[in-house]
Amino acid sequence: MARLYINPGNTTYGPVPGGELTEIVGSNQAERVWLAPNANAILDPSFVRGNDGIVVLGLASNYSIAATVAGITITSSNGANIRIPAFGAGGGLKIDFNNGTFNLGTDDSGVTFQLTGTAGVQEIGNSASVIGGGGTGGTGTNFSLDIGTPGVARVVDAGTANFAFTDDSEATTNVRITHMTNGDHITVGNAAASDYNFQRDFGDINDLVITYTDPVTGATNMIVIDDVLPDSGAVSTLAAATTAIGYNFMTFA
């Protein structure tokens, strides 16, 4: 078993991979950890004090959840096994999926574990049940690209659904989108198409690199779309990139 110690207050760590079990040890400060879609991880009790969060890079409906006296387990058919220690009233954890956000907590008596979102509450029992009925992002496709740090890109798998991606140009974005197809779309706010730069990746000519730095906030935006381009064709503008890709993949609001 591997053991990872999170620096106190770290909000950008991960993603923690699948495979070998990883124990994640945090602190009493607010922390946020990213988990791969097939993560095999166990959180230490510092994560259920009510001020931490995890980001699971998959769709909520692909995961099941169950509870025992030891805590809560989130599993999926791709091998994910995420274990969260038991906690009482007042404790809990925020859980973000690609298509929704849930608050993991208890009922008023502190006896029954629950997932709560704007759409309702899901009680967690001893038998595993599919996650649903409580997360925001009700269409199952909305996803913000305002993630990552200037030095660490986040990988977003668009192959699991048709995604409606959003990018706020005034916030930091550093992502690599894989398996993007017709039906996936990026909407950019607070900028014009002419503000953004488009080019092929010198390391892989089939990857599209999109960049922008906001002059007011200083936020950097980098979106890399993996293997979306044909071998030839200009891509130096949004119009040219759209022609090369063959469908409307990006608009500016």
In a domain, 205, yes or no: yes
Say if 217 falls within a structural domain: yes
At residue 143, the pLDDT reads 79
Q: Mark whether 154 and 229 lie in a shared domain.
A: yes
- Taking the C-alpha atoms of residue 22 and residue 42, their distance in angstroms, rounded to an integer, is 6
40 vs 21: CA distance, rounded Å: 5
The reported pLDDT for the residue numbered 138 is 33
Mean per-residue pLDDT pooled into runs of 10, the chain (253 residues): 87 84 94 91 96 88 89 93 95 86 87 78 85 46 82 85 84 94 87 97 97 96 97 96 94 84
> Is the same domain home to 120 and 156?
no
Residues 69 and 146 in one domain: no
* Residues 106 and 38 grouped into a single domain: yes
Domain limit, last residue, from 89, 105, 130? 130
Amino acid at 175: V
Task: Report which of 52, 13, 21 is spatially closest to residue 38, judged by C-alpha positions.
Answer: 21
pLDDT at 157: 85
Q: Which residue's entry shows tokens 């090369």? A: 244
Residue 186 lies in a domain: yes
* Residues 96 and 148 reside in one and the same domain: no
* Domain assignment present for 209: yes
In a domain, 137, yes or no: no
| 150 and 111 fall within a common domain | no
Residue 135 within a domain: no
State residue 119's pLDDT score: 58
Write down which residue in 81, 110, 130 finishes a domain: 130
Following DSSP, what letter does each residue of the chain receive, concatenated?
-EEEEPPTT--SEEEE-SSS-EEEE--SS--EEEE-TT-EEEE-GGGGEEEEEEEESS-GGGEEEEEETTEEEEEETTS-EEEEE---TT-EEEEEETTEEEEEEE-TTS-SEEEEETTEEEE--SS-EE--SS-S-TTS-EEE---SBTTB-EEEEGGGS--EEEEETTS-EEEEEES--BTBEEEEESS-GGGSEEEEETTEEEEEEEEEE-TTT--EEEEEETT-S-SSS--SSHHHHHHHHTS--EEE-
Total of domains in the chain: 2
Residues 217, 150 share a domain? yes
Has this prediction a pTM greater than 0.95?
Answer: no
Residue 199 belongs to some domain of the structure = yes
Which of 76, 105, 130 is at the close of a domain?
Answer: 130
CB 57 within 8 A of CB 36: yes
Residue 79 structural domain: 2-130
User: Does 106 reside within a domain?
Assistant: yes
